[in-house]
Amino acid sequence: MRKKVIFGNWKMFKTNKEAIEFIQDAENKLKLPNNYVAGIAAPFTALSDLKKVSKNIIICAQNCHFKTNGAYTGEISIPMLKGIGITHVIIGHSERREMFAETSETVNEKLKSLLNEGLTPVFCCGESLEIYESKKTIDFIKEQIIKGFKDIKDSDAEKVIVAYEPIWAIGTGKTASPEQAQDVIKSIRDILSNIYTKDVASKIIIQYGGSVNPKNVNNILSQPDIDGALVGGSSIEVSSFLELFKTNEK
């Protein structure tokens, strides 16, 4: 059975002090249901200290460079992250694709380098409002996945976490309905089945992201192909982050 993996994504929020206070408080109060995994993607400045105070919450990075080292001013490499114990890294978030010239080609390089180093990539994909309205979502996502997973072998592909985040739902308060999200995520699993095998695709964790909050999370996670959530706004306060883990299943 695939686990339910809920990661908060703080984006460019929280000083180191605020980040530490959050994780200490959340670790004290978190009641993780069976089969659930919790994580927070924090800014680079907080990662090292958060690794020291976290216990059950996985501390993730929000980006990385694909080269080991070099003249890349302002960048952070995978060995640097690995050196402080980071195991999970978000790549290809739509905000990075839109504002920081991230392409499917660079996302593919990052995916390959992370897997080579034994880290878990959280591979983001998702369509704009324009593509959604012109009903080209699946074609668009298919291209992002084919390019993103180029030269990734079966045994590595199954280790990737995919996050489907329609851009029109990020930070807008507009969520895809659970059924809409299920349809696209089922298609993502079919695309992965075609590239790899059904068995490989059935092991891949696929999250939904885009205005997930404590009220809608359980309906979204009850869909058969949705294995978790990537959560921005509702992961900023400890109380709403913790509420994401209050399931109906207990």
How many residues belong to the site for ligand PGA (CB under 6 A)?
12
Q: Is 165 among the residues known to form the active site? A: yes
CA distances from 109 to 24, 123, 150 (A): 34, 12, 9
Rank residues 78 and 126 by Cβ distance to ligand PGA and give the closer one. Answer: 126
Is 161 one of the binding residues for ligand PGA (CB under 6 A)? no
Q: Given CA atoms 59, 53, 13, 228 in this order, what sign does their dihedral have?
A: positive
Q: Tokens 């640097």: give the residue.
A: 80
- Say whether residue 8 binds ligand PGA (CB under 6 A): no
Nearer to ligand PGA, 77 or 221 (CB): 221
Cα–chain center distance at 117:
18
Beta bridge partners of residue 229, listed in sequence order: 6, 208
Residue with tokens 């993103």: 148
CA 153 to the chain's CA centroid: 20
Q: Does 121 bind ligand PGA (CB under 6 A)?
A: no
Binding mask 187-226 for ligand PGA (x = CB under 6 A): ----------------------xxxx--------------
Q: At how many degrees (to 10) do helices 178-195 and 137-148 cross? A: 40
Measured CA distances, 205 to 68, 107, 153 (Å): 27, 18, 16
Q: How far apart are CA 29 and CA 24, in angstroms?
A: 9
Tell me if 228 contacts ligand PGA by CB under 6 A: no
The catalytic residue among 93, 95, 102, 158 is: 93
Mark whether 130 is an active-site residue.
Answer: no
Cβ nearer to ligand PGA, comparing 42 with 170: 170
**If DSSP codes are grouped into helix, strand and coil, which group holds residue 162?**
strand
165 counts as binding ligand PGA under rule CB under 6 A: yes
Q: Is 181 in the site for ligand PGA (CB under 6 A)?
A: no
| Residue 182 or 235 with smaller CB distance to ligand PGA | 235
Chain contacts with ligand PGA (rule: CB under 6 A)? 9, 165, 170-171, 209-212, 230-233
Residues forming the active site: 93, 165
